[in-house]
Structure 1
Amino acid sequence: MESEKSATVTYSPAAVLNLFNNSLSVNETKRIVQLKGIYIQGKGMQYSGYFYDIFRDESTDAAITILVPPLIRNELQPNKTVTVNGFITRRIINSSGSIQIQLTVTDLVGQTQNKYTEDDVRKIQLMQAKAATGYRDVYSWLKEKIITEEPFKIGIVIGKTGIIDNDIKHQLRESIGFYDLSFHRVNLSSEEEILTILDRLSNENYGLVAVSRGGGENLDIFNRFTIAEKAVSLQSLFVTAIGHKDDVTLLQRVADKSFITPSELGQFLNDVYNETVAELENSKARLIESVKLQLTAGYQKQIDNLNEKLKANEELRLKTAKDLELVYKEKMELLNGQLAGEQKLQAERVGILNDQINSYKKQIAQIEGKASVNWTIVVIAVIVGLIIGYLLKGH
């Protein structure tokens, strides 16, 4: 038993496909069923007595292959809603590793006009594709351009004889000086002219392209699939300003933004500009206030630091002055002491000299009292006097 469980079974791709094909069991494959859809003819080649055509949903892009006998096929009309009876079969496609569900038609029940035409289906698919890629935010895009002051061009397509350019300009008011706006006149009843101008504006790198028309009827041109498809493929942002409130055309549905009237488009551009400028002013005011507070705090800190330095310098100065005064006082005391010593020494010397002078005077007096003068002693006395005078003068 264990060896049987652990044994590895090797299949080929075809074997796997047949294994799953045989294992599929649906009650509807065992009886006749009724199928309704839009009939689309295939290539017109017959295989094994059948034509391989297609049934597609009326409201989606889901489809199934049907095998139609020649007699029934002759009665079927392409692109009409058809109801048939048949039985479900499966077909293995080895090249893609898939199992295809098919219906073999046995009889025609009925056929009616389609609920949706082929053009309607294409329009629905186009709107689905636009929804999948996303509607671009025109307001945010304009706002960013205004804030960054990045230049951009707006091209507005209008009728050859239209006067709506004045309506748009009037609503722009003071913001008209900011926008690089240009109007391009074409025949709005001509599909070819509209496609041409859209191509040209896109190639000339217009940031925003608008199609604008005043009120009135005859809006069929804006329901053309080719024009809407061209608008979806534009690199430029695309808006419409078609003056009709009740009838929303295909072109309006696929536009990034649509306006009911041309004046509303002008008002929108003016509002975006004014709101963005106001926000910028408020942001600048807040920024200036923030910078002011930061600078004030920075300056106050610098002032506090300088005050602390001045206080420290003043303390150092006072301490230095006190130290200098103490040193000066000590030096003065030392000098006064030295001077007193010198004066005392000088007084002692003077006293000694005075004693010597008095002694010499006595000796001279004694000599003078003698009858005969000893000139040698006189000369010596004079010399001694000169020496004493010199010494006194030097000190």
Structure 2
Amino acid sequence: MEILETTYEVYSPTSVLALFNNALRLPGTENLIHLRGRYAFGGGKSYTNYFYDTLYSEADSISITVKIPALLRSKIVNNEIYTLKGYIEKILRNSRIDINFVVDGIIAQEEGSFSEDDLKKFELIQKKLELGSKDLDTLIRTKLLNNEIVRVANIYGHNAIVQKDFSEGLDVSQKYFEIVEYTCNITSPTSILTQLSELLNLNYDIIALVRGGGDKQSFEVFNDSTLAEYFISLNSISVTAIGHTVNESLLDKLADRRFHLPHDYGAGLHLIVDKLVQEKSNSRALLIDEVKKDISKQFIEQVKTLDSQLKKKNEEFVEAQKTYKEQVENQTKSFNDQLKIRNEEVEKLKKEITETHEKRVRTLSEQLTKKNEEFQKFQESSTKQLQDLQKNFQEQQKQRLEEMANYKREISILHDKNMQSTVDAQTAKLRANLNNASTEITELRATLAKKKFNIIHFIIAVLLGALLGYFILRLI
């Protein structure tokens, strides 16, 4: 049985875009056509003598890029209605096909049919186009990938009952959002402006106007140009879900993301979160598979490397072991030879030392005998000298003792003589003092005899006499 091979025609991205570009061949694009709308200037610079401006539909904000020569542009007045003649130009840009209207002539200029408020609304739309819309998907994905909560402020009417619709649409994704509800008079531009100004500095990621529907007259509040101008100045992502699926208000055109109904708004947020969760799950599974493959590959390579290294180390070990064995044998042999030489040298040295020692012992013995004899002679001489010295010392000691006895005797005699002379001198002195005291006593007695008897003087005299007598007796 033959197997039929299926063949496929392979295209490049460039060829695919070329196919679509060639397929877009319409009668209106092959000939000159007339295009009517409100003309709005773009950038002020020309490229290869052409300016790139914008032509808006009169009834809405749909626009097309206009490529106009510099000469024709000089005749155009900004924000006026023109009918232009030209052709459609298709340009391949990376992965998209851009359509430009190349102006060949100006057919007519009509008087402005728009009020100042309409022109202001168009200017606001043009300003929003220049500023660009903030991407709701990117904001939510970035916050969730950084494990951050998305902060949302929803503005409802005072008596609104659509909060439940929003929650049902958001479903299980509510855990990823911090949703705060605010209420105001949703039919009053002033009330909505006041509420928006209060939220301006609260750093919400998303600010949404949520409404369940209503009559067409109450819907006109969302076309207020003053409210719209403040709405596009918000730093947060602006969202509308005001309950009209047919009509598109000015705020819908200026919002970063428009939803028709509150439920659609909640479901849209849930869809973004769910898509990110699925992508993370898929990428995690792919990452695990890739990691497994990488780890398996690395493990096999490491095992091969380690096996090769082990084999090489075993060979090196065997070689080293062999070398070591040879070195040990050589060293053992060398050591034995050296040990034999050392033993011979030791034996020779021992012999020499023995002979030298015997000679020295003999010499020392002779010297010792001689010294012993000299010592005996010295000892005899010393003994005789010591006996003579002891005899002389005893004689001198005896002589010294006799001299000491004589000295003591003489000193005792001198001491007795000195004591006697001192006693005699003191006795004579005391006797003289006693005589003087006796004389004084006699005189005192004579004086007392003359005067009245004074017992105190008498007692003093008796005491003095007793003291003198005591001293005299001590001296004798």
TM-score normalised over the length of structure 2 = 0.44
Which entry has the higher C-alpha Rg, 1 or 2?
2
Counterparts of 2:319 and 2:306, CA distance in 1:
20
Indicate which of 193, 196, 199 corresponds to 2:197.
Answer: 199
1:122 aligned partner, one-letter code: K
Q: Distance in 2 between matches of 1:333 and 1:271?
A: 90
Q: Structure 1 pair 62/317, CA: closer, same or farther in 2 (3 Å)?
A: same
For the 8 Å contact 2:171–2:270, the answer to whether it is kept is yes
Do the aligned partners of residues 269 and 332 (structure 1) sit closer, same or farther apart at CA in structure 2, a change above 3 Å counting? same
Q: 3-state DSSP class of the match of 1:233? A: coil
Higher relative contact order (CA 8 A, sep 6+): 1
Distance 1:329 1:135 in 2: 90
Higher helix content, 1 or 2? 2
SS at match of 1:157: strand
1:170 alignment counterpart:
168
Equivalent pairs counted in the alignment come to 231
Match of 2:177 in 1: 179
Counterpart secondary structure, 2:232: helix
Q: Distance in 2 between matches of 1:61 and 1:267?
A: 39
* Secondary structure class of the residue paired with 2:209: strand
Q: Which amino acid aligns with 1:176?
A: Q
Equivalent residue for 2:249? 249
SS across alignment from 1:154: strand
- How far apart are 1:328 and its partner, in Å? 7.7
Deviations 1:175-210 (A, max 9, x none): 111111111111101222100111122211111111
* Residue pairs, 1:88-237, within 5 angstroms: 115-217=113-215, 218-237=218-237
| Matches of 1:187 and 1:167, distance apart in 2 | 20
What does the per-residue CA deviation read over 1:137-186, in whole Å, with 9 as the maximum and x for residues that have no partner? 21222222222223431111111111111111111111111111111111
Q: Does 1:61 align with 2:79?
A: yes
User: Helix, strand or coil for the counterpart of 1:219?
Assistant: helix
1:223 and 1:250 in contact (8 A); partners too: yes
CA distance in 2, matches of 1:211, 1:328: 95
Distance 2:118 2:331 in 1: 117
Map Cα deviations across residues 277-309 of structure 1 (whole Å, 9 max, x no partner). Answer: 111222222223333333333333322222122
Give me the CA root mean square deviation: 3.0
Q: Tell whether the 8 Å contact from 1:147 to 1:280 is kept in structure 2 after alignment.
A: no
1:121 maps to amino acid:
L
> Is 1:152–1:207's contact at 8 Å kept on the other side of the alignment?
yes
Q: Match of 2:143, as an amino acid?
A: K
The alpha carbon displacement at 1:332 in A equals 10
| Residue pair 2:150, 2:205 contacting (<8 A) in 1 also | yes
Q: For residue 196 of structure 1, what is the amino acid of its counterpart?
A: T
For 1:228 and 1:243, the matched residues in 2 are separated by 18
Segments of 5+ residues of structure 2 without an aligned counterpart are 1-74, 82-110, 336-476
Q: What residue is the counterpart of 1:339 in the other structure?
A: none
Letter paired with 1:61: N
List alignment gaps of at least 5 residues for structure 1. 1-56, 64-112, 336-395
How far, CA to CA, are the matches of 1:333 and 1:134 in structure 2?
95
Find the counterpart in structure 1 of residue 293 from structure 2.
Answer: 293
Aligned-pair identity (%): 30
What is the match of residue 96 of structure 1?
none
Contact 2:207 2:236 in 1 (8 A): yes
CA shift, 1:325, in A, is 6.0
- Which shifted more, 324-333 or 120-129? 324-333
